[in-house]
Structure 1
Amino acid sequence: MPQNSKYSDTQFENLMHDIIIALEKHQAGRDLSLMALGNVITNIFMQQVNESQRSEMADKFTQVLLKSINAK
C-alpha cells in the first residue's frame, strides 16, 4: 500500500516484517491470512476510529487498497 504518513520507512517495514513472520509462523494460507487481517482491520476501526468517521475512512481505505492491488 502506498505510504503517506508520519511514520518512517524503517518503522513501517519492521511492522510489516513482524506481521508476515506471524502469518508464516502459523502457516496461514491466503484465506486464513485475509480473514485474520480483515478482523484486525475491523478491530482497529471499532477501537480507534470515531463512529461518525468509520464509514468514510473505510471507503478511503478500500479505495487505496484497490488502487494498490490494481497497480501491480
Structure 2
Amino acid sequence: MPIVSKYSTEQIENLVNQLLDTLHANHATTELSLMCLGNAVSHVVNSSVPLAQRQTVAGHFSQALTDAVNSKSN
C-alpha cells in the first residue's frame, strides 16, 4: 500500500527547490550542503520533537533517507 502524504507534491517540491537554490546560490559543495542540511534536520528535531521521541524520529528519518538513496541507484 503506498504511503499517502498530507502534503502536496507541489508544497514539497517548492520547499526543496528553495533549499537547493540557496545552496547553489552560495556555491555550496556537496560536503557543505550535507553538513548544512544535517544541521537543519537536527535543529528541526531538537526544537519540535519531544525528547522521548527524538531517537525514534531520527531512526525513521535515517531509514527513509537510506531507502530514498537506495531506490535511486536501482
Deviation, 1:19, is: 0.5
State percent identity of aligned pairs: 37
The one-letter code of the counterpart of 2:67 is: K
After superposition, the CA RMSD in angstroms is: 1.2
Runs of 4+ in 1 over 6 A off after TM superposition: none
Q: Distance in 2 between matches of 1:38 and 1:4?
A: 25
Alignment gaps of 5+ in structure 2: none
Using the alignment, how far apart are the partners of 1:66 and 1:21 within structure 2? 23
Gaps of 5+ in 1: none
| In structure 1, C-alpha distance between the alignment counterparts of 2:35 and 2:66, rounded to whole Å | 17
Structure 2 CA distance for aligned equivalents of residues 67 and 7 of structure 1: 20
TM-score when normalising by structure 2: 0.89
